[in-house]
Amino acid sequence: MGRVYLLILIQLTVSIVSFAQQRALDSVVVSATFIPQKDYTTGRNIITLRGADFNKLPVSSIDEWLRYVPGVEVQQRGPQGAQSDIIIRGGTFQQVLVVIDGIRINDPLTGHFSTYIPLHPEDIEKIEIIKGAAAAVYGADAIGGVVNIITKLGSIQTDSTPLSISGRLQWGDQSLLNRQFRVAGKIGKRRFSVAEMKNKAAGYPLRGTNGFFDNQTISVAYAGKIANNWQLQLRYAKDSRDFNAQNFYTPFLSDTAREKVVSDWLRVGLVRSGSHTTFTAEGSYKILRDQFQFNPSGSPNLNTTEMYIAQAKLSHTINQQNSLVTGIQYFHKKIMSNDRGNHSLAHAGGYVILSHQLMPRLHINESVRLDWDESYGWQLLPQFNAAYSRGSFTGRASVGKGIRDADFTERYNNYNKVLVTAGNIGNPQLQPEKSWNYEAGFDYRVLRQLKMSFTAFFRNQQNLIDWTPTPFSQMPRTTNLLPNGNYALATNLWEVTTKGLELDFQYIKKMRNNRQLTLLSGLVWMESLSNQQTPSFYLSSHARFLWNTQLIWRVGAFEIAVTFVYKERNAQQANAIKAAITPSYFLLNSRIAFNTFHQKLSLQLDCTNITNTQYSDLLGAAMPGRWASAGLYLKF
């Protein structure tokens, strides 16, 4: 049945694109290397999302939005921001780095929290999805890719709107309530925003429980000139996620878990802009409190993490053909936990980025970073990107080294408990993951309005960290374990290779009579192989084939948005809880909107999972079926 829907959507997409009239579209300016440059000069495959599109799509959280981006696999455990993992090019969820205005937000407890992005969607100017390694620029963890979020207050563009007020209310099945509110404005050379977003539902039926969630983000931001050419940027956000976590992490029948994750995040930045040089100094503090209760009869795991970051960079335009960026970074992370114990780690690095235009059509970007980590010592991380453009054609190639150290969960999970009868066991002896990443491809622009991209990629990884079933006799530490227990140990796999092909389409088209079409679509074929026979969990869970799409079609006052994802992956089964990972599934969502009062009011009708597909991205974490909702969106 899924393939029938795919054929229908292919025909629909081709028909719409063929009908569209021709109009030129300029190339997108990106900051993937901290140097603003046209995307065709970076040598990378980069997808750019516009923040303005969020409230046009049938999505309710930022992780759901990312799910329909070409080449991005979002493995959801729960809907509307409860919890998701981001996978790019077959990497594990810890191998994708999330950055907001230059500051990493990945939590040291676990990569499962990477999608807890503490922003209101309308605070976002754009999101750049950088596929493949970028560790030489962004540092450790940027192996599979980077989600680079640029806010409106952090953007180099000037927002001239004196005052903007927007709000959204949506009601639906399962006592669903979605709420958004934002006030933003400009007073002289000072800009501010105050925003709140909440997604709440009683939940869909699970095994003896309901999949409830209550997620809220509140943020306050300010940017203003404080002296000649100096700007101060401030942002504070409080993020809370309370949700049913049944079988999110285990396939056990006794798992009826509930989890609550609350974080506070503060960012401070100073920016001095000159005609050829920009200096940025910034710092952040994040504290996250995680309470996880496996079932009502057990004591909860209480984890608190803190992360301090201080960094500075200097960007200098030497001339029209050459630019230079150099910077330093330091961050300190620690955990206080009744489950994992108390630990801390320090990390520092320095980097240099050079961008050249060697010939009228040849662009070279070189980066090198020297990293030091309290756990693994010194590492040199180089990156080389090249792009050659001729007319509508751009050829590109990239090679780079990546590194990732184990998080606190991988090192110490269940390490501090008196007795562990079953589950995942941390390993303090883990070595850091190291990888070499290679890619080559081309972009072709049809009349500068349709961009088609093809990329072949290959990643060779040493010491990939994954959970592998391990008998009691082979456990490095058995103090709190049972001889007949069922355990999975965090292990370094000796060597893993991932290879794949990507085909992306980006189309943005404005036409006469208030018509516009926006289309992002991509297909990925991937394969990961290991030289070890022991099965691993996350290595076998990523899609072998992935096709995701988002489409917005506006005709006058009406707007139709469609998102879908189709994936093929390895089948899995857990008989104890009667759960299965099917070898493929297709998910289709839609929004129909009517815009009135001069486009200030939008009446919206959503239907997610139109085909009522029964599916899980991860074994046991059942996702909801068909879900209808309706609401209104106001902006003036």
Largest CA distance in the chain: 73
Here the tokens at position 235 are 């942002």
Cα–Cα distance, 373 to 64 (Å, whole number):
33
- What phi and psi, each to the nearest 5 degrees, are found at residue 18? -65, -30
Which tens digit of pLDDT belongs to each residue from 482-533? 999 989 999 998 889 999 999 999 998 888 878 889 999 999 999 998 877 7
Cα–Cα distance, 543 to 568 (Å, whole number):
6
| Phi-psi sector, 89: left (phi>0), alpha (psi -120 to 50), beta | left
Displacement of CA 9 from its chain's centroid (Å) = 26
Cα–Cα distance, 199 to 624 (Å, whole number):
15
pLDDT value for 22: 36
More confident residue, 577 or 262: 262
Cα–Cα distance, 621 to 207 (Å, whole number):
11
Here the tokens at position 172 are 């639906």
Whether 10 shows a pLDDT value over 70: the answer reads no
Q: How far apart are the first and last CA of the chain?
A: 43
Give the Å distances, CA to CA, from 613 to 246, 376, 589, 626: 20, 45, 11, 8
**Which residue from 237, 424, 410, 239 is spatially nearest to 335, judged by alpha carbons?**
410
Residue 119, domain extent? 2-635
More confident residue, 21 or 616: 616
Question: Helix, strand, coil proportions of the chain in percent (round to 5)?
Answer: 10, 60, 30
Say which residues have a Cβ less than 8 Å from residue 594's Cβ, sequence separation at least 6. Answer: 557, 558, 559, 602, 603
Cα–Cα distance, 537 to 493 (Å, whole number):
12
Whether 65 shows a pLDDT value over 70: the answer reads yes
Q: b vs e for 313-325, b when ≥16 Cβ sit within 10 Å of the residue's Cβ?
A: bbbebeeeeebbb
Say which residues have a Cβ less than 8 Å from residue 395's Cβ, sequence separation at least 6. Answer: 387, 388, 389, 440, 441, 442
Q: Total structural domains in the chain?
A: 1
| Phi-psi sector, 395: left (phi>0), alpha (psi -120 to 50), beta | beta
Give the Å distances, CA to CA, from 629 to 112, 121, 495, 605: 28, 19, 47, 6
pLDDT value for 1: 44
Say if residue 45 is exposed, middle or buried (CB neighbours under 10 Å; 0-12, 13-18, 19+). buried
Whether 540 shows a pLDDT value over 80: the answer reads no
pLDDT value for 181: 96
Min mean pLDDT across 117-121, 381-385, 544-548, 569-573 is at 569-573
**Which residue from 109, 315, 206, 99 is spatially nearest to 616, judged by alpha carbons?**
206
- Written in H, E and C, the secondary structure of 453-467 is EEEEEEEEEEEEEEE
Say if residue 350 is exposed, middle or buried (CB neighbours under 10 Å; 0-12, 13-18, 19+). middle
Whether 26 shows a pLDDT value over 60: the answer reads no
**Which residue from 67, 95, 44, 55 is spatially nearest to 565, judged by alpha carbons?**
67
Determine the residue type at 606: D
**Please, are residues 56 and 591 in contact by the beta-carbon 8 Å criterion?**
yes
Give the Å distances, CA to CA, from 36 to 353, 361, 383, 386, 453: 13, 18, 18, 16, 21
| Cα within 13 Å of Cα(102), Cβ side | 30
For residue 4, the surrounding DSSP H or E stretch is helix 2-19
**Please, are residues 354 and 368 in contact by the beta-carbon 8 Å criterion?**
no
Cα–Cα distance, 501 to 524 (Å, whole number):
6
Which tens digit of pLDDT belongs to each residue from 396-445? 999 999 999 999 999 999 999 889 988 899 999 999 999 999 999 999 98
Average pLDDT over residues 51-73: 95
pLDDT value for 452: 94
Which CATH number belongs to the domain containing residue 146 in this structure?
Answer: 2.40.170.20
Which tens digit of pLDDT belongs to each residue from 387-398? 999 989 999 999
* Helices and strands, counts by H and E, the chain: 4, 34
Give the Å distances, CA to CA, from 562 to 56, 59, 510, 600, 605: 10, 10, 18, 22, 12
For residue 103, the surrounding DSSP H or E stretch is strand 103-104
pLDDT value for 358: 87
- Using alpha carbons only, what angle is made at residue 68 by residues 65 and 73, rounded to the nearest 5 degrees? 105
Which tens digit of pLDDT belongs to each residue from 357-375? 988 899 999 999 999 999 9
Indicate the pLDDT class of residue 156, thresholds 50, 70 and 90: low
Determine the residue type at 546: L
Say which residues have a Cβ less than 8 Å from residue 390's Cβ, sequence separation at least 6. Answer: 361
Whether 18 shows a pLDDT value over 50: the answer reads no
Here the tokens at position 429 are 């002896």
Whether 11 shows a pLDDT value over 80: the answer reads no
In the chain, the percentage of residues whose pLDDT exceeds 70 is: 94
pLDDT value for 92: 87
Cα–Cα distance, 399 to 439 (Å, whole number):
7
What does pLDDT average to over the chain?
90
Whether 206 shows a pLDDT value over 60: the answer reads yes
Cα–Cα distance, 463 to 71 (Å, whole number):
25
pLDDT value for 431: 94
